[in-house]
Structure 1
């Protein structure tokens, strides 16, 4: 009654997904989404170069 089953069982391999065929409408939506993501990345890069948003200088504590 000895077996070599110990630890986690290996997950079953998933079959590879078939490539989907897209029509013109789907391709337009995919391209639009990619363009929006690219624009967001550019905006994030610009914002990170400028530094902090506040620009108020030194922060004051509430104590006097």
Structure 2
């Protein structure tokens, strides 16, 4: 005889957690996090703004544009 309870069993429902009240330490911590996130957003915006205009560091080997005169070497 086959059983009807084949497959995954559903977990029992947990009672909902009540929202705990925030004390002063939690409020200060959240404010610090918000300030840090704002600073990071500003830095990202500045990076995009600067990189959009021109690259900061142009890498590679620079070649000399001076031409050598064969007659000047003698």
**Which bin holds the TM-score, normalised by the shorter protein?**
0.5 to 0.7
Query: 1:56 aligns to what?
Result: 58
TM-score normalised by length of structure 2: 0.50
Query: 2:28 aligns to what?
Result: 28
What is the CA deviation profile of residues 5-49 of structure 1, one whole-angstrom value per residue up to 9, with x for unaligned ones? 122122232322211112223211111112212222332344345
TM-score normalised by length of structure 1: 0.54
1: distance between equivalents of 2:47 and 2:14?
A: 41
Alpha-carbon RMSD across the aligned residues, in angstroms, is 2.7
Larger Cα Rg: Structure 1 or Structure 2? 2
5+ residue gaps in structure 1?
A: 59-64
In structure 2, the CA distance between the partners of 1:4 and 1:48, relative to structure 1 (3 Å rule), is: farther
5+ residue gaps in structure 2?
A: 61-74
2: distance between equivalents of 1:45 and 1:16?
A: 40
